[in-house]
Amino acid sequence: MNFTGLVAAITGGAKGIGKAMAQQFAARGAKVAILDIDPESGERTAQAMRETGGDAVFITADVGDLSSMERAAQQVAQSLGNTDILCVNAGIYPQAFLESMTEADWDTVHRVNLKGMFLTVKAFLPQLKQSQRGRIVLTSSITGPVTGFPGWAHYGATKAGMLGFMHSAAIELAKYGITVNAVLPGNIETEGLGEIGEEYRRKMEAVIPFKRLGKPEDVAHAALFFASEGAGYITGQTLIVDGGQILPESSLALEDI
Ligand code: NAP
């Protein structure tokens, strides 16, 4: 896959899955804009990519704020050119159990994950329309669309909501040649997941047929596919990247493997 001459903008690109997407697109010739609320990590990621020959800029942007995203989109166009590939990846996943979940907990997660997706697409749509091969890749999750986990009802609602958005957006944007697809990661070893502890990791690994958590690159490769020239006739689709985690119909299925 070659992305030479194309511009990729990646929200939440300072760390984790978004950082791997930024690195993988840059390694294949794309000019990459990292959009994130964490300027220290974002600048460090962009700098490291430039040092290895990549064309990367960091732009501070909050996906939950339309004016911030419009400003960021303008800065991408000025510094790299019009965006061809938009990875809507920024997301947060604080755990909160229903009995203690506050309205603020609910709103915070929805502001970033769901409203943030809409505002990101809205801000970049004028640029994507000008591209010969506009691509939108959403980072959803298995949690919500396919599975559930205590403490993530609000999170799961946003990740399932992203797919609801995708289905209509894919139809609306087809006339511009823009595809809209989603990657659904399982448990991926990122900075965001890092705090969650050794016991969680051990238990999770035990129920994944591949017996390991995913790497950010595993998800980035799925995003590269959706953004590739060859995927131009694929829209409104999902790709699960979970090492087989959702497959076992019970713990019996994992015995003796
Ligand atoms: P991560 O390591 O926490 O990185 C996410 C980045 O997004 C961070 O730099 C974060 O900054 C930034 N961010 C947070 N709020 C933002 C906002 N309002 N505007 C712009 N940037 C913002 O997360 P990750 O694990 O790579 O997850 C990336 C995406 O994958 C998320 O959408 C997540 O739901 C999804 N996902 C992850 C997993 C997993 O196992 N890791 C599984 C399924 C789906 P701060 O650190 O300063 O908040």
CATH classification of the domain holding 131: 3.40.50.720
CA 16 to ligand 1 center in whole angstroms: 7
C-beta of 11 in contact with ligand 1 (< 6 A): yes
Whether ligand 1 lies within 6 angstroms of the CB of 91 is answered as yes
For residue 1, is it within any domain?
A: no
d(CA 107, CA 96): 12
pLDDT of amino acid 186: 97
Ligand 1 centroid distance, CA of 213 (Å) = 16
pLDDT of residue 191: 82
Q: 80 to each of 10, 75, 238, 250, how far by Cα in Å?
A: 13, 8, 29, 49
* CA nearest ligand 1 atom 47, residue: 38
Instruction: Report which of 70, 67, 72, 61 is spatially closest to residue 36, judged by C-alpha positions.
Output: 61
In a domain, 72, yes or no: yes
Asked whether 185 lines ligand 1 (CB < 6 A), one says yes
DSSP annotation of 176 reads G
Q: Phi-psi bin for 144: left (phi > 0), alpha (psi -120 to 50), beta? A: left
Q: Per-residue pLDDT for the chain (257 aa), expressed as one digit of tens each?
A: 899 999 999 999 999 999 999 999 999 999 999 999 999 999 999 999 999 999 999 999 999 999 999 999 999 999 999 999 999 999 999 999 999 999 999 999 999 999 999 999 999 999 999 998 999 999 999 999 999 999 999 999 999 999 999 999 999 999 999 999 999 999 999 887 767 788 888 899 999 999 999 999 999 999 999 999 999 999 999 999 999 999 999 989 998 77
CA-based nearest residue to 21, from 219, 228, 243: 219
User: Is any ligand 1 atom within 6 A of the Cβ of residue 62?
Assistant: yes
Count structural domains, the chain. 1
Q: Catalytic residue numbers?
A: 155
Q: From the CA of 111, give the closest atom in ligand 1.
A: 18
Model pTM score: 0.98
Residue 183 lies in a domain: yes
In a domain, 101, yes or no: yes
Q: Are 21 and 10 in contact (CB under 8 A)?
A: yes
Q: How far is the CA of 25 from the centre of ligand 1 (A)?
A: 18
Would residue 214 count as lying in a domain?
A: yes
Domain hosting residue 182, numbered range: 7-254
Q: Where are the alpha helices (DSSP H) in 88-215?
A: 103-110, 116-130, 153-173, 191-194, 198-206
Ligand 1 and 144: CB distance under 6 A: no
Whether 245 lines ligand 1, by a CB cut-off of 6 Å, is: no
Among 37, 142, 166, residue to substitute to test ligand 1 (most atoms within 8 Å of Cβ): 37
How many contiguous H segments (helices) and E segments (strands) does the chain have? 9, 7
